[in-house]
Each structure stands twice: as structure tokens, then as C-alpha cells.
Amino acid sequence: MGTHASVGETPTKRPPGTSRRRGSYLVLMSTRASRILLGLYGAVILAIIGVANVGGTNAIFHFITVIPFGDKLGHFGLFGVLALLVDLATRHRDTRLWRLRIPTGPAVLFGLVFLEELSQRWMSTRTFDLGDLSADIVGMTLFVGLGRWLAGRRRPEREPECLPSPDSPAL
């Protein structure tokens, strides 16, 4: 657990599960909240995979087939958001591989997504598709990159509204 303080203040303990990155454009929630959201979203993804594995169908699957490139857009969005949530839940941790910094959580997620897509080669109700895997990779990369970019941006400092500005006339 780290400490935080402004210049001239004594350090205080950071509340458990809070992010170090305060004041960014991306609304960063506590680690606990991001993990709960990740768990719920992950359960939805697993349910979708489960329905597809048994050859089931529903209105969402039908809707996706009507949209041009609907399957690829679904992979892009679903796994992109999942990777963003994983990156938030792991607090943007990186692993170094030679000179590259690789997001740890999304890299592990990619390994699992790759194995799931590869397993479709042996299922009669599914088909392995490099296009789906490519959409997963692009979505994961863009969503994690956008999330990290937003998390790194700072909001401009604003003066408190209750204090008069130096240019305003005295009352």
C-alpha cells in the first residue's frame, strides 16, 4: 500500500483498492470495483461462448449475422472491452520482454482467447477463423491503448469557484 501527499503535507495511507492515478480523464474506479465489473462482464462472455459451443442461437446471434462484418465487430468490441477491464483490474501492470513493455493482464487474456479460438477446430458446432482472432487482437490493442492514453491525461487545474478572481472588483 502506497502513500500520497501534496508538497508540504505529511504522507497519508491510500485507501485500499484505490488507484494512484487521480484526476485523469478516464474515470478510474477502485481496484475492487473494476474487478467486480470484470467478473460480471467475464461471466457474460463465458455465457456467450457456452451458447455458441453447444450450437445454440438467440436474437443477439441472429442480429449479428444480419450486420455486415457483425461477427468481427462483435469480437472487436467484446474482447476489446474485456481487455480494457482486465488492464484496469490489474492496475496497468506491464511485463518487460526485451525492450518491449507488454500489458500483463491483457497478454494473459490474449493467450486464453487464442486457446479458445484454437479449440474451435475440434468442435462440430464452431469454426476456427483467423479473422475472428485478428479482430480480437485489434480490439484488445486499441481498447487497452485508448484506456492507457486516457488514464495518463490529466484534467486541467481549475480555480475554486468560491474564490473571487484577481481581476474581479472587490465587494
Share of the chain above pLDDT 90, in %: 35
Q: What is the pLDDT of residues 9-66, one digit of tens each?
A: 555 555 555 445 444 545 556 778 888 889 999 998 998 888 888 877 766 676 777 7
Residues across the chain: 171
Contact by Cβ (8 Å): 132, 75: yes
**Separation CA 81–CA 92 (nearest Å):** 14
Contact by Cβ (8 Å): 92, 83: no
Does residue 33 or residue 139 have the better pLDDT? 139
| pTM value > 0.85 | no
Q: What is the residue whose three cell numbers read 502513500?
A: 3
**Separation CA 77–CA 142 (nearest Å):** 10
Burial of 26 (0-12, 13-18, 19+ CB in 10 A): middle
